[in-house]
Structure 1
């Protein structure tokens, strides 16, 4: 699909509003594509979002449950976390899988790259399927109080379709894996 050669947004000024080790928020004064002045805010993520769908030989996966501060609710998710920009994302995925579940995988497949909210942020997400699993000791961060449960992939797919799992990385990975399963490419 053809796209315009020049970005129609023009930045006239910018101001940093907030900064911490994980995100930076900038407010821009802009001229929008119709030629009118306006403002735009951007959340810059300092890490890459990494999500892992671990699948064992019997097509079971591992869900991670935790209370999510921003939602003020409990969330069932796949193992996921942040990968430092400039570090191989696969190495970050291996670290997150071991950290949250105690699992190591011998076979890794990148299944999706996506932006999580491109209207307000630049957060990139990379999703993997991990196979050839071996169990070791989990190494959660001190900010994590995790519950890990082994669940058949078909049940996780049902949970996604029923809206019981709402985490965007988990939803995207499960739906992509289901498509790959139907296409016999998983």
Structure 2
């Protein structure tokens, strides 16, 4: 198979837009030659995730109620990063906002598309080291609970299904591999 676009866009219409996303509906000819529609969500920022790790391999998880899921979620510190700034700038801001932590060492460990069948959202995940505690500055829309746990406990929360957030799962699994490979 060739790595070319088999879709033909006949017409596109913007359905909705706000400060974070834009929703477009495309009238298409699908790869089999039939007519169809395709909804596309365009994100206006990077998705940024940060796994803070201290020298004893403790990390900090953020707990919050996630409106779309109608459920509480334990996650690594996460948020949006402006396309106008280097992604690590957004990571530094999110870590401080959600945890109060400031890091001196930053290592990008993963880039991933979060839901590539309907969106173009790109996630960039970092490990933050060299941590010092400051004061958290959560946004007004965030009611956060901060929990310090050993990395092994956070990893176990992925294995037992307590942590289901995709960036958190990816960050914790990738970090476990880096630890096992002696790269961290």
Do these two structures clear the TM 0.5 threshold for a shared fold by scoring above it? yes
Partner of 2:97: 99
Whole-Å Cα distance in 2 between the matches of residues 171 and 6 of structure 1? 31
d(CA) in 2 for partners of 1:77, 1:161: 14
Query: Does residue 1:18 correspond to 2:16, yes or no?
Result: yes
2:138 to 115, 137, 140: 140
* Equivalent residue, structure 2, for 1:119: 117
2:42 pairs, out of 41, 44, 50, with 44
Aligned to 1:89: 87
For residues 5 and 69 of structure 1, what CA distance do their matches in structure 2 show? 37
User: For 1:149-169, what per-residue CA distance to the aligned partner results, in whole angstroms no more than 9, with x for missing partners?
Assistant: 100000000000000001111
Q: Distance in 1 between matches of 2:69 and 2:36?
A: 30
CA offset digits 1:74-96 (Å, max 9, x no partner): 11100000001121100000000
- CA distance in 1 between partners of 2:154 and 2:135 (Å): 24
Q: 2:65 — aligned with what?
A: 67
Cα RMSD (Å)? 0.9
Equivalent pairs counted in the alignment come to 184
Relative to structure 2, which stretch is displaced further, 30-39 or 164-173?
Answer: 30-39
Moved over 6 A (4+): none
User: Which blocks of at least 5 consecutive residues in structure 1 are unaligned?
Assistant: none
Task: Map Cα deviations across residues 99-152 of structure 1 (whole Å, 9 max, x no partner).
Answer: 000000011000000000000000000000000100001111111111101000
Which stretch of the first structure deviates more once superposed, 152-161 or 68-77? 68-77
**Structure 1 stretch displaced more, 124-133 or 69-78:** 69-78
Give the secondary structure class of the aligned counterpart of 1:117. Answer: coil
Q: Which residue of 1 aligns with 2:27?
A: 29
Shift of 1:5: 5.0
Alpha-carbon distance in structure 2 between the residues aligned to 1:69 and 1:8: 36
Cα distance in 1 between the residues matched to 2:69 and 2:181: 35
